[in-house]
Structure 1
Amino acid sequence: MKNTAPEKEEVEPQVTIVDIEEGVPRSRKCKTRVRRFGSVLRKSFQHSDKSEASPWPKIVRKVLYLQTVTLCLAVIGYVIYHALLLALIRRITPPAPPTNGLTKIVSSWVEPGTVTPAPPSWLPQFSRDVQPKAIHSHNDYWRRVPLFDALALGITGVEADCHLVNGELYVGHMAGDLRSSRTFRSLYLDPLTSILTNQNVANGVASSSTINGVWDVNNTQGIVLMTDLKTEGFATLAAVQEQLEPLRQKGWLTYWNGTAIVPGPITHVGTGNTPFAAVLNSSYSNSTYRSVFFDAPLDDLSSDLYNASNSYYSSVSINKVFSGKLRISHRGLSKFQLAIARSQIEKASSLGLVSRYWDLPAWPASTRMTVWEQLEDLGVGMLNVDAIEEATRWNWKWCHVLGLTLC
């Protein structure tokens, strides 16, 4: 009988993960670890005991798995959305305003006549780093700081509603708004006189015969001072012209000399009750000299009445042009409306006039900014706005994105 030695069981060598991965490239190691983690996660949810008779534990585990995955995806989406939103806000947020004489005046401004001595209307480096913009400050006297708020933002057109009461010109929208401290002189003419006087003082180093305007970066760029006459036109315009006489004598007003326009730092435009006849002929206007210009009707330029010799702006309420079935929608101007506006703007330009639409949509903000952009693209001469900070400092082409109004 043979004695056979019991066969030894062959023991498989234990191979660790480290041993397996020693020769594996790093990228494959990472993929392996990711697959292993995913496998463990699935098993933790898919584990089932064959002895379980009810299917509900398995269903509950699957539901929990789906909820966990959904929650993770939602958190990731939320983070990405808000990261993009914050990046966009940083992208369109305007830089800090420049520090110059204008910003200092705005910060310290008080109502005329309330303190003695009155705060200055001009300070050194008056409009440094301010870029002039073809924007009209509608109802400018409603600003916290009339005139200076607009100038600090580079706005080149301001508007004052003038009421002639007992020989004085008061500024306000309606008669009930008038106050003794808020006159055409105190809010506009006196500050402009101080500004232009100081802008044209010889510095002792170099002098020039050129008359400097408000803007340091472009001293030949003028501003438009529009008077919207609320009381009887002939008498009110005569009072405005009389108060402008000191500026006229210094050569600060743009005028027509009978053959051409001679530009000055200030262009005076009359609107509201301003009589066209008085613009053409008065104590201050005739065929060889005219320093007041009319606000011609933008929707009625078919005649040969209005041209650069007697008018500057050519304006109309946009709601007059587009009313009833042509009313502006929340999406802005339609193709048909754009064609009408383009023809009016081109007609005004051909006559040497500056086109302007007022009464633009104010709300919602997305509609307002869309119409601004559309008019700018059409080449409108002056963009009439109420929200001057938004119009001048924000990139309003990007203000309405991701379903949010960011400006």
Structure 2
Amino acid sequence: MKTLLFWCLLLCISPTVWAQRSGSVKIHAHNDYEKPVPLMTALENRADFIEADIWLMDGKLMVAHDRKDINPARTLDSLYLNPIVRLFAQNGGRISTDRTYRPALVIDLKDKFDDIWPVLQARLAQNIDIFNPFSNPNGIQVIISGSRPKVERMVDYPLFVQFDGRPTEIYDDETVRRVALISDSFYNYSRWDGNGDLPDADREKLKRIIRRAHDQNKMIRFWATPDNPNAWKQLRKLGVNVLNTDKVAECRKSL
């Protein structure tokens, strides 16, 4: 009974609850750190998932797409964790004055998981109430993407983190609960550029993957998708729950 109540609570408070049945669609702020004002621009446009790529350098978590682009001033602390803590203090224990808005922070690990995870876990633990939606219904859900543990090891990590799943992975009843959503490269199914209509053959391939994710009660996101209103519209019609975009404001307006 306690286990059942625990998972019911998770579904109630998690910002990553499956959106398909309600017909809603969410926005993933891809490579948010490349924006002139990271985090704040995404929050202003109510992005549901905010992505930061991180590397481990000299014991610090650095934010950059590639290792060669690392700037010592651009750390996970300075761009995301510390500003989030300040916002919680300013807004009475929540990320926003809007009580219905609870975005997730997607942290894409670029280095080996076993090397970078202990550092990230220790840093999150310093403000665990803010980054633990189990103890705080207003808390920020952290989703680990990129370098992740093997599927069978996902259940060994703290419950306050979830993982970005893949269509190629097989999850049992316990492990699937640790998966926030399913993600994959659009290029694995199509080279469509977003103009005109999606080719029928590509549409059928995408529908199969989308259906598989929905059968597991999971949202689905494709990265490397065409990034324009026509593409967003067609992907929504297919049942894609999370739109991956570099144009958060434009995408939000179109929705």
Please give the TM-score of this superposition, normalised by the length of structure 2. Answer: 0.80
| Secondary structure of 1:268's aligned partner | strand
2:74 matched to which residue of 1?
182
Contact 1:269 1:293 in 2 (8 A): yes
List per-residue Cα deviations over 1:178-211 (Å, max 9, x = no partner).
11211001100000011112222xxxxxxxxxxx
Amino acid at match of 2:117: L
2:136 is aligned with 1:272:
no
2:224 is aligned with 1:380:
no
Contact 1:213 1:221 in 2 (8 A): no
1:67 matched to which residue of 2?
none
Cα displacement (A) at 1:281:
1.5
2:133 matched to which residue of 1?
254
2:217 is aligned with 1:352:
yes
Q: 12, 21, 29: which one pairs with 1:137?
A: 29
2:95 is aligned with 1:199:
no
List per-residue Cα deviations over 1:48-96 (Å, max 9, x = no partner).
xxxxxxxxxxxxxxxxxxxxxxxxxxxxxxxxxxxxxxxxxxxxxxxxx
State the aligned residue count: 230
* 2: CA distance, partners of 1:321 / 1:328: 9
Amino acid at match of 1:165: M
Counterpart mapping for 1:141-152 below 5 A: 141-152=33-44
With a CA cutoff of 8 Å and minimum separation of 6, indicate the structure with the bigger relative contact order: 2
Contact 1:133 1:154 in 2 (8 A): no
1:317 matched to which residue of 2?
185
Cα displacement (A) at 1:354:
2.1
* 1: CA distance, partners of 2:210 / 2:174: 14
Cα displacement (A) at 1:213:
3.5
Residue ranges of structure 2 left out of the alignment (5+ in a row)? 1-23
Cα displacement (A) at 1:385:
0.3
| Secondary structure of 2:48's aligned partner | strand
* 1: CA distance, partners of 2:176 / 2:141: 12
Amino acid at match of 2:44: A
* 2: CA distance, partners of 1:195 / 1:308: 32
2:164 is aligned with 1:295:
yes
2:208 matched to which residue of 1?
343
Contact 1:307 1:351 in 2 (8 A): no
Contact 2:131 2:160 in 1 (8 A): no
Cα displacement (A) at 1:361:
2.0
1:328 matched to which residue of 2?
192
Amino acid at match of 1:300: T
Residues 154, 221 of structure 1: alpha-carbon distance in 2 compared, 3 angstrom cutoff: closer
Please give the TM-score of this superposition, normalised by the length of structure 1. Answer: 0.52
Contact 1:222 1:266 in 2 (8 A): yes
Residue ranges of structure 1 left out of the alignment (5+ in a row)? 1-131, 201-211, 363-367, 397-407
Contact 1:135 1:385 in 2 (8 A): yes
* 2: CA distance, partners of 1:296 / 1:180: 30
Contact 1:232 1:273 in 2 (8 A): yes
Contact 1:161 1:230 in 2 (8 A): yes
Counterpart mapping for 1:363-378 below 5 A: 368-378=228-238
Cα displacement (A) at 1:291:
1.3
Identity of aligned residues (%): 27
| Secondary structure of 1:309's aligned partner | helix
1:389 matched to which residue of 2?
249
Residues 147, 163 of structure 1: alpha-carbon distance in 2 compared, 3 angstrom cutoff: same
Contact 1:228 1:273 in 2 (8 A): yes
Amino acid at match of 1:173: H
Residues 348, 133 of structure 1: alpha-carbon distance in 2 compared, 3 angstrom cutoff: closer
Residues 278, 243 of structure 1: alpha-carbon distance in 2 compared, 3 angstrom cutoff: farther
* 1: CA distance, partners of 2:208 / 2:235: 12
Cα displacement (A) at 1:351:
1.9
2:52 is aligned with 1:160:
yes
Q: 88, 107, 123: which one pairs with 1:243?
A: 123
List per-residue Cα deviations over 1:350-370 (Å, max 9, x = no partner).
3232211100124xxxxx322
Amino acid at match of 2:162: F
Residues 246, 303 of structure 1: alpha-carbon distance in 2 compared, 3 angstrom cutoff: closer
Structure number with the higher strand fraction is 2
Contact 1:301 1:348 in 2 (8 A): no
* 2: CA distance, partners of 1:301 / 1:264: 30
* 1: CA distance, partners of 2:75 / 2:57: 11
Cα displacement (A) at 1:278:
5.3
1:227 matched to which residue of 2?
107
